[in-house]
Structure 1
Amino acid sequence: MIRFITGNKHKVEEAEKIFKNFNIELEAIDLGYDELQGTLEDVAKAGAKYATSKLKKSVIVEDAGLFIKALNGFPGTYSSYVQETLGNKGILKLMENVADREAEFRSVIGYCAPNIEPKIFLGRVKGQIALEEKGTLGFAFDPLFYIEEKDKTFGELSTEEKNQFSHRKNSLDSFIKWYSQL
């Protein structure tokens, strides 16, 4: 049993489908924790450590962000805030007349258990910022994140298609590989 500390139902749905492939049961707990300013790794470590101290059980937390090369990695660790304030239309406005549209989604899983230091697992997926929003699937920046190999945005891919290679899948796979050896 893995306890996933999140209030984001989209993350839970994606993670449940991935964990199911490994016959690992997932329990979602909306505990909430302060997200410090820092890297995704800093946020994941601190969140996992906090949740473990409160629950006295092993947990995972996940922090993710969209990193746009032409914007020096922005929105990065501020992705959630930027999604709430600027939204996809704001990102498209920032990217007007920008030729280099390279971007990547990153996901960091933070794992912690009582009396051990947190461990982190990074997952990435490279793509481009589309010229316009496409698709209604997924959430947040998904309709902007274009995958050349698929010729679609994340917003046009079903959850099953996205779960084959997403940043969250990559970080969860890395975690599961490590966790399965415990």
Structure 2
Amino acid sequence: MKEIIIATKNKGKVKEFEALLAPLGYLVQSLLDYPDSIDVEETGTTFEENAILKAEAISTHYQRMTIADDSGLAIDYLDGKPGIFSARYAGLAKDDQANINKVLEDLTGVDELESRSARFICALALSIPGGKTKTVEGTCEGYIAMKQQGENGFGYDPIFIVKNLNKTMATLSKEEKNRISHRAEALEKLIDIIDQS
């Protein structure tokens, strides 16, 4: 079984990666398995740059194959915000509910669903010690709901309506989400690269 580190402490992300990678024979670990893990400052200006920074730092530090994810929500009406600041949109505390509340507040008065278009974006970077870092990107198109709906998932899932399903991400089962999410799309592309590594 091949070991792979996911450079995150976000339990929701770890579960999604496990669901997608474990069936392929990977032992998925995360920074939660490394209490002494280093903090990597996300100083990039894009999701891809931040993913590369994290993947290379963790891969070099532990000398293991590492995947880093940087992802977030881009809302057209808000000129792409919250973007790379998705986790900290309402402040440094990384509070999902506060972030949701801020997005809904920022869209007050924007009542047409078409005007609330948005997408989840996921950039993944794969770093293998001694190798060249590879990156892929996945997206999931949709709209921002008027109010929260659903209990599943994490982050902005309760207010993100998946375009072709007309349901929020938080109302989908784990299996449904893993078929259509931005992370699933990116990981599908990355698996082809991992298999060749």
For this structure pair, what is the TM-score category when the shorter chain's length is used for normalisation?
over 0.9
Q: Please, which of 21, 27, 30 is the counterpart of residue 28 of structure 1?
A: 30
Q: Please, which of 82, 91, 101 is the counterpart of residue 103 of structure 2?
A: 91
Partner of 1:168: 183
Q: Which amino acid aligns with 1:22?
A: L
Kindly state the Cα deviation for residue 74 of structure 1 after the two structures are TM-superposed: 0.1
- Are the equivalent residues in 2 in contact too, given 1:136–1:143 (CA < 8 A)? yes
Q: What is the correspondence of 1:15-164 to structure 2 with a 5 Å cutoff?
A: 15-30=17-32, 31=37, 32-82=39-89, 84=94, 86-98=98-110, 99=112, 100-164=115-179
Q: Distance in 2 between matches of 1:72 and 1:37?
A: 18
- Are the equivalent residues in 1 in contact too, given 2:4–2:64 (CA < 8 A)? no
Q: Which secondary structure does the structure 2 equivalent of 1:107 belong to?
A: strand
Kindly state the Cα deviation for residue 132 of structure 1 after the two structures are TM-superposed: 0.8
**TM-score (norm: length of structure 2):** 0.87
Q: Distance in 2 between matches of 1:51 and 1:148?
A: 35
Partner of 2:193: 178
Kindly state the Cα deviation for residue 57 of structure 1 after the two structures are TM-superposed: 2.1
Q: Which amino acid aligns with 2:18?
A: E
- Are the equivalent residues in 2 in contact too, given 1:49–1:117 (CA < 8 A)? no
Q: Distance in 2 between matches of 1:96 and 1:72?
A: 15
| CA pair 160-135 structure 1, distance change in 2 beyond 3 A | same
What RMSD over aligned residues (CA atoms) do the two structures have, in Å? 1.5
Q: Distance in 1 between matches of 2:161 and 2:100?
A: 13
Which segments of 5 or more consecutive residues in structure 2 lack a partner in the other structure?
Answer: none
Q: Distance in 2 between matches of 1:166 and 1:104?
A: 10
Kindly state the Cα deviation for residue 53 of structure 1 after the two structures are TM-superposed: 1.8
Q: Percent identity?
A: 30
Q: Which secondary structure does the structure 2 equivalent of 1:21 belong to?
A: helix
Q: Distance in 2 between matches of 1:16 and 1:10?
A: 10
Q: Deviations over 1:78-101 (max 9, x none)?
A: 000015364211111111122311
Kindly state the Cα deviation for residue 2 of structure 1 after the two structures are TM-superposed: 1.5
Moved over 4 A (4+): none
Kindly state the Cα deviation for residue 3 of structure 1 after the two structures are TM-superposed: 1.4
Q: Distance in 2 between matches of 1:148 and 1:50?
A: 36
